[in-house]
Amino acid sequence: MTEDSLVAALRAIVEAPAAGSGMPKRIVLGIGDDAAVWQPSRSHLSVVSTDALVDGVHFLATMDPRAVGHRAMAANLSDIAAMGATPVLATVALGVAPGTSEDWILECYRGLAGLAAEFEAYVVGGDIVRTPAITLAITVVGEVSRTRLKRRDGGRAGDVLAVTGALGASRAGLELALGRASADGELAAAARAAFATPRPRVREGRYLAASAHVHAMMDSSDGLSTDVGRLARASGCGAALAFVPIHPAALAVAPSAGDDPRAYALDGGEDFELFVAVSARGFTHLAARFEAHFGKPLIPIGHLEERPGLRLTDQAEPGGRELIPAGWDHLRT
Amino acid sequence: MTEDSLVAALRAIVEAPAAGSGMPKRIVLGIGDDAAVWQPSRSHLSVVSTDALVDGVHFLATMDPRAVGHRAMAANLSDIAAMGATPVLATVALGVAPGTSEDWILECYRGLAGLAAEFEAYVVGGDIVRTPAITLAITVVGEVSRTRLKRRDGGRAGDVLAVTGALGASRAGLELALGRASADGELAAAARAAFATPRPRVREGRYLAASAHVHAMMDSSDGLSTDVGRLARASGCGAALAFVPIHPAALAVAPSAGDDPRAYALDGGEDFELFVAVSARGFTHLAARFEAHFGKPLIPIGHLEERPGLRLTDQAEPGGRELIPAGWDHLRT
């Protein structure tokens, strides 16, 4: 396999989803030159996010390579969704390990390009290098109108905190994949899918971004206990969590590993749900509209408050108790 | 070191070059949210390029970490330059190895952010993960007007091929760094600098892009013998190389390693000079203007021709001899 022949094969894969209609006209130049070229929207801001995933840390090389690609792309699309933006294109830096086969690479690209294409985003370039462990660094560019851009620092004391889905299923799937937990049936399958092929909440993000009642938004990629703290701090607030929405798959799987399913939801991370700070006045109406549109609830989990720090108030202790962030920190040793 | 504290330190570094004037106004949001946000030019196309560098393959962890960062950013800026574009912003996916210190990371960022800032481009985000070997995947976004965009497939038979500088110094520097060659003095220092802190030809690229006589442009990152072949093939042509411009540093260093300096120039790669296909009619005038502007020649090295393949005609053999691409191929085993 030479670089030129592999690039030609990858190019065929990433252009396949556009085979019917051709690549979108705004993609002026995709894979094959020094850089890719596109026509940005004249009325929108551009957004960019980069996420890297490493074998043994964020995925397992024993996983289906399509799932590895899917998962890496999902992490990036989730960041774009968290700004309220629409993805447009992606670049992929792939580090292949000594034993990585050409088939593995092609399947991985099918996974990542396939997920991107679901949201009409296309892979336009990247790089392939040799690394000791398979590494995928993906960059996604998206667009959002200035009025719909949602940052994480716009929350205000009194805002309702809400999340687009229950949490902890991805961690449950990881424990199953590692053989530390064992379970069968529909919920175990849901856990495995949540870990291997998570769904980025791109449509939900766009929908929530259209509401002026949504003051701040981010994704829950590093675990609720870490990410809610980040949003609250960025907004100059503290937060009280009154309800931890535990995914049924976490409830089903965690006990077999001797774990607390609540910890999966609070600290597991990589669920790629979005959470938002919504004005108390606007929440009920927004939640009703959201549920009617998506057929699933926008789950209230607490509120922002002036008092700094993070409190868990879902149990009987008066005033709640301090919540120690124990979510994903890539560098904690 | 936690992720949040490290991100705060990196943010201070990448924003430092803009300390006097602040970040450019068009950067709406830099490091610290799910994604970075900017206002693209309303009259230009956007371009994006991603390049990954790995310890032991593209650099040595024993190098000055500033040089590692500089070198990684240079590779990306060179791709942007090769489109005729101006860099605007960058994201950095950094994989740190078990022994990597916080100081190493900060110095590496100083190197990459410092070089980007020379061209008024800023690091707006990225990711940091743990990897077995230090890995740097950088993505640079730039802008170019539609009329100045230079692709690699625009060359025509009869075009003069020319390069913005002599080649082979980077390879000479690598051989010195690896201890396979030994040399002292000014030329050895030039070789070391060409390897450790190469200069991307951003200004040269912009200048050449302004000429309609320049039909195609790319950078020489993978070695002249590989890259000229790529430009010729993309343009539906072959190429005859009549002159291989060997950098004096390659001439000074190669013999001490028992190597042919000409091979450094043809196959060494990573020189980050630009090469162009220029209409024969326009070349003399463009080269004169280029030399007057930059104080260095635009060196003619051959021409594109209808006959496919790559010929070296710089020696006495009638019809020249076939040139086998032996430049950098990341995947050749």
pLDDT digits (tens, 9 = 90+) for B112-166: 999 999 999 999 998 898 898 899 999 999 999 999 999 999 999 999 999 999 9
pLDDT at A223: 85
Q: Is A147's Cβ below 8 Å from some Cβ in B? A: no
Residue for token pair 């993906």: A138
Q: Which residue of B57, B94, B219 is in closest CB contact with A34?
A: B219
pLDDT at B333: 40
Question: Could you tell me which residue, B19 or A308, shows the higher pLDDT?
Answer: A308
Average pLDDT, chain A: 91
pTM > 0.95: yes or no: no
Radius of gyration (Cα) for chain B, nearest Å? 20
Question: Could you tell me which residue, A315 or A121, shows the higher pLDDT?
Answer: A121
**Complex prediction ipTM:** 0.91
For residues A299-325, average pLDDT: 85
Give the mutation candidate from A34, A89, A273 for the B interface (greatest B CB count, under 10 A).
Answer: A34
Q: List chain B residues with pLDDT less than 70.
A: 1, 18-22, 316, 326-333
Handedness of CA B79, B83, B87, B92 (dihedral sign): negative
Question: Could you tell me which residue, A8 or B235, shows the higher pLDDT?
Answer: B235
Q: Is A34's Cβ below 8 Å from some Cβ in B? A: yes
Q: Is B58's Cβ below 8 Å from some Cβ in A? A: yes
Q: Which residue of B41, B83, B133 is in closest CB contact with A34?
A: B83
pLDDT at A3: 72
pLDDT at A21: 62
B265 closest CA partner among B294, B223, B231, B230? B223
Q: Where are the beta strands (DSSP E) in A75-219?
A: 86-96, 122-130, 135-144, 160-163, 214-219
pLDDT at A291: 98
Which residues are CB-contacts of A132 (< 8 A; sequence separation ≥ 6)?
A97, A98, B131, B132, B133
pLDDT at A270: 87
Residue A328: band (very low, low, confident or very high) from pLDDT cuts 50, 70, 90: low
Distance between B233 CA and the closest CA of chain A, angstroms: 12
Stretch among A123-132, A157-166, A233-242 having the lowest mean pLDDT: A123-132
CA distance A50 to A257: 33
pLDDT tens digit sequence for A205-223: 999 999 999 999 999 888 8
Instruction: Walk me through the domains of chain B, giving residue ranges and CATH numbers.
Output: 3-144 (3.30.1330.10), 160-322 (3.90.650.10)
Residues of B in contact with A137 (CB under 8 A): 50, 52, 93, 127, 135, 137
Q: Is A97's Cβ below 8 Å from some Cβ in B? A: no
What the block records as the tokens of B333 is 């085993």
pLDDT at B8: 86
Chain A residues 267-326 within an 8 A CB cutoff of chain B: none
Q: Is A228's Cβ below 8 Å from some Cβ in B? A: no
pLDDT at B235: 97
Give the mutation candidate from B50, B51, B78, B88 for the A interface (greatest A CB count, under 10 A).
Answer: B50
Residue A333: band (very low, low, confident or very high) from pLDDT cuts 50, 70, 90: very low
- The backbone torsions φ and ψ at residue A81, rounded to the nearest 5 degrees and listed phi first, read -60, -35
In percent, the amount of chain A with pLDDT more than 70 equals 95
pLDDT at B328: 55
The answer to whether the CB of B257 falls within 8 A of the CB of B181 is: yes
pLDDT at A262 over 90: yes
The answer to whether the CB of B57 falls within 8 A of the CB of B51 is: no
Considering only alpha carbons, which residue of chain B is nearest residue A99?
Answer: B333
Q: Is A106's Cβ below 8 Å from some Cβ in B? A: no
pLDDT at B22: 64
